[in-house]
């Protein structure tokens, strides 16, 4: 019998996780049982992916930059990458604002529901507000200061410092380009081999992906708050999800028009990374799989994918920026506020910059949302209104973030003549085991 492809195994694990979570939620000690004996395996799976995130970025970016041979190629690819990332982010925020103004989900929030949510999640709201206050106290050029690490070992010890690791890797790669080839060759050979080892580790970790997502989804279901809260925020969730679906459609349109690849080819190639992003809510944790799928299944040259994708996992958060726009206006509507056009244009700018500053880890967008709310003059206490269903939506918007990264990598690869045929055919059972 033909073995199931990886993405079907992951999907099966997700479905079984939800079912097991629902079943155990009905037992007296079911929640504790899942938390004590199932959830730890999900955490182990995420930790194993995070374990290789920094080594992967160092190895792949140094290899990718040094393979460019000269600085002109780096500036050309880098300029196009940043430009397309910013364009898709602005489009995402604009789509979010358009939908939330048309659907007006805030009108469905009653005073009773609002009070209940604020009481239940006031502690969580305060935590994010404090983090946002620290963020706002920094000067306007703090982002540039944070970009340059004072200690690369310290920066590599925290997955939230991905931009610093990326800066060092690009800087190191430029150094390799500028020294004589006979001196740079041993170093490049080391990182080539190092990169291959990391990619093989990814293959081994992905064997456990179906079991990891099973544990994550089962734990999420038993820890979810009352279903009545989800029903009260159904229109808000619908607005966000509709916007995210439109972004997926937009990505496939871009791929079809500019790379001449079919939507089915693109979605089949990236689907395991999408499912993993949905399960982990972390672009950084999903990065190893995204890089493997884009290079092996979408035909993007490693020279491009190893440069574009690590940067995208850190600064390209289209799903996050769309969610921030919808959430900000939704909270304003719930509090009866009428936002002017100027205020909403400010939301576009702030949400775009905030998405760039969001760490590629679960829940980071919530901290940045407080900054967006403050810029628009929207009560920060409204954060509690959306906290109940933030995790499921976080899973969805992370899926869009990863899909956006893959799309941009294909567009950049096509623009520099580095988009070819996939290395692994869809019918090759040797890989999908």
Residue 422 counted as domain residue = no
Question: Which domain, by its residues, includes 308?
Answer: 6-415
Residue 32 counted as domain residue = yes
Overall number of domains in the chain: 1
Q: Which residue is it, tokens 């010890």?
A: 157
Residue 331 counted as domain residue = yes
User: Is the pTM for the entire model greater than 0.75?
Assistant: no
Q: pLDDT in tens for each of the 433 residues of the chain? A: 357 777 678 778 888 988 998 899 888 888 899 989 998 998 888 788 778 777 877 887 787 777 666 666 667 787 888 889 889 988 998 999 999 999 888 776 666 665 655 565 555 555 555 655 665 666 666 767 877 888 888 888 876 666 688 788 888 988 888 888 889 889 988 988 887 888 788 778 878 888 988 888 888 778 765 554 555 577 888 999 999 999 999 999 999 999 999 999 999 999 999 998 888 877 877 888 899 899 989 999 888 888 888 888 767 888 888 988 888 888 888 776 778 777 788 787 777 766 654 545 444 566 567 667 766 777 766 666 676 577 778 889 899 999 999 999 999 999 888 887 776 554 344 444 3
Residue 191 counted as domain residue = yes
Between the alpha carbon of residue 64 and those of residues 166, 180, 201, 291, 351, the distances in Å are 12, 18, 19, 12, 30
Residue 62 counted as domain residue = yes
CA-CA-CA-CA dihedral for 109, 219, 270, 234, to nearest 10 = -10
Residue 430 counted as domain residue = no
Residue 423 counted as domain residue = no
d(CA 432, CA 403): 21
DSSP string computed for 374-402: HHHT--GGGHHHHHTTHHHHHHHHHHHHH
Say if residues 52 and 278 touch (Cβ distance below 8 Å): no
Say if residues 417 and 261 touch (Cβ distance below 8 Å): no
- Of the candidates 317, 284, 309, the residue with the CA atom closest to the CA atom of residue 81: 309
d(CA 154, CA 150): 8
Residue 269 counted as domain residue = yes
d(CA 17, CA 7): 15
For residue 270, give the CATH number of its domain: 1.10.3860.10
């Amino acid at each position: 019998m033909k073995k199931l492809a990886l993405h079907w195994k992951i999907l099966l694990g997700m479905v079984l996780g939800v079912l097991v979570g629902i079943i155990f939620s009905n037992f007296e000690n079911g929640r504790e049982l899942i938390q004590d004996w199932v959830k730890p395996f999900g955490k182990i799976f995420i930790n194993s992916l995070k374990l290789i995130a920094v080594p992967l970025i160092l190895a792949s970016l140094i290899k990718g930059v040094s393979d460019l041979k000269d600085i002109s190629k780096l500036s050309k690819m880098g300029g196009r990458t940043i430009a397309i990332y910013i364009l898709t982010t602005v489009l995402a925020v604009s789509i979010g604002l358009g939908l939330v103004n048309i659907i007006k989900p805030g009108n469905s929030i009653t005073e009773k529901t609002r009070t209940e949510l604020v009481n239940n999640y006031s502690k969580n709201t305060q935590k994010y507000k404090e983090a946002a206050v620290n963020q706002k106290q920094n000067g306007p050029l703090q982002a540039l200061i944070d970009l340059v690490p004072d200690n690369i070992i310290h920066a590599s010890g925290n997955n939230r410092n991905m931009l610093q690791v990326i800066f060092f890797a690009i800087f190191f790669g430029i150094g390799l380009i500028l020294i004589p080839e006979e001196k740079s060759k041993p170093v490049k050979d080391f990182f080539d081999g190092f990169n291959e080892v990391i990619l093989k580790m990814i293959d081994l970790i992905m064997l456990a992906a179906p079991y990891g997502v099973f544990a994550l989804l089962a734990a999420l279901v038993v820890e979810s708050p009352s279903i009545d809260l989800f029903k009260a925020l159904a229109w808000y969730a619908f607005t966000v999800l509709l916007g995210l679906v439109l972004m997926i459609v937009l990505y496939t349109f871009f791929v079809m028009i500019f790379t001449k690849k079919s939507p089915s080819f693109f979605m089949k190639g990236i689907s395991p990374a999408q499912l993993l992003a949905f399960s982990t809510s972390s672009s950084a944790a999903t990065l190893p799989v995204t890089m493997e799928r884009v290079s092996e299944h979408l035909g993007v040259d490693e020279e491009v994918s190893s440069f574009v994708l690590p940067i995208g996992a850190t600064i390209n958060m289209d799903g996050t920026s769309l969610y921030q726009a919808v959430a900000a206006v939704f909270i304003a509507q719930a509090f009866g506020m009428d936002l002017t056009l100027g205020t909403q244009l400010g939301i576009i700018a702030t949400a775009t910059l905030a998405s760039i500053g969001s760490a590629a880890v679960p829940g980071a967008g919530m901290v940045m949302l407080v900054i967006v709310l403050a810029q628009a003059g929207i009560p920060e206490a409204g954060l509690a209104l959306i906290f109940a269903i933030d995790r499921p939506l976080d899973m969805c918007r992370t899926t869009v973030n990863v899909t956006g990264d893959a799309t941009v990598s294909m567009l950049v690869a096509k623009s520099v003549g580095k988009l070819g045929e996939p290395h692994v055919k869809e019918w090759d059972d040797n890989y999908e085991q």
